[in-house]
């Protein structure tokens, strides 16, 4: 299947480094970042898994669970995890799916034949607590993922889910945000009594509301 934004991410059960993992049960009512790797013992992915392990407290405070996937079996993952701890200085502290039969990779459309018929592309899926797909990113094999950007997009999603705003280019926590165009000035005054700066009638900047988590 080909997942699109807004689709429900299907449930699955598969082996992992933390035992059998039933995705919907494991996710619960949390946000999830699922990121795939083409195979074990790949250099770029080794640095990525170490980075996410170091950033796990930042995901935790946003109510986000992280979940890796690679197409090798658990015993291979366990050996790779030792290398990650040795070279990256942080032990793996989240589950890594052992998708040895490509069941999950095929279900989530993580194998792209023009890249490889057998290994997954390096994709990031951001999934909300209702199991809806909210963001996808797919990287080439040569370019490491930017997990600070992934955290930034989660901040934006969580903020804009709770307030009638959108975030501008390069937005960071604490920056001004945009009042959504569907809100007329009268309705905006009720929600943003402090006022806003209108660069154009359709481009109204306002101080960032507090995110609700």
* Residues carrying an active site annotation: 45
Give start and end residues of each alpha helix (H) in the chain. Answer: 23-27, 43-61, 74-88, 103-107, 147-162, 185-191
For residue 170, what are the contacts with CB-CB under 8 A and spacing of at least 6?
A: none
Spatial separation of the C-alpha atoms in residues 24 and 34, rounded to whole Å: 13
Angle of CA points 103, 133, 24, to nearest 5°: 55
CA gap 193, 68 in Å, rounded: 44
CA angle in degrees (0–180, nearest 5) for 141-147-153: 115
Residues composing the chain: 213
Structure tokens at 105: 């990779």
Q: How many CB atoms lie within 10 A of CB 53?
A: 20
Helix axes 43-61, 147-162, angle to 10 degrees: 30
């Amino acid at each position: 299947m080909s997942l699109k934004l807004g689709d429900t991410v299907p449930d699955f059960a598969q082996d992992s480094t933390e035992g059998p993992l039933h995705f919907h049960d494991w996710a619960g009512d949390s946000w999830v970042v699922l990121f795939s790797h083409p195979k074990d013992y790949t250099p770029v992915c080794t640095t990525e898994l170490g980075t996410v392990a170091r950033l796990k407290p930042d995901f935790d405070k946003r109510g986000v669970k992280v979940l890796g996937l690679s197409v090798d079996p658990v015993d291979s993952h366990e050996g790779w995890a030792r290398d990650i701890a040795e070279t990256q200085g942080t032990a793996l502290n989240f589950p890594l799916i052992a998708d040895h039969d490509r069941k999950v990779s095929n279900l989530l459309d993580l194998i792209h034949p023009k890249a490889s018929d057998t290994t997954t592309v390096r994709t990031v899926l951001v999934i909300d607590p209702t199991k809806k797909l909210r963001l996808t990113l797919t990287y080439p094999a040569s370019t490491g993922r930017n997990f600070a950007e992934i955290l930034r997009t989660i901040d934006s999603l969580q903020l804009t889910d709770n307030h009638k705003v959108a975030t501008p280019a390069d937005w960071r926590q604490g920056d001004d945000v945009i009042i959504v165009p569907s809100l007329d000035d009268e309705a905006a005054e009720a929600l943003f009594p402090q006022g806003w700066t209108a660069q154009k009638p359709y481009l109204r900047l306002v101080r960032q509301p507090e995110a609700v988590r």
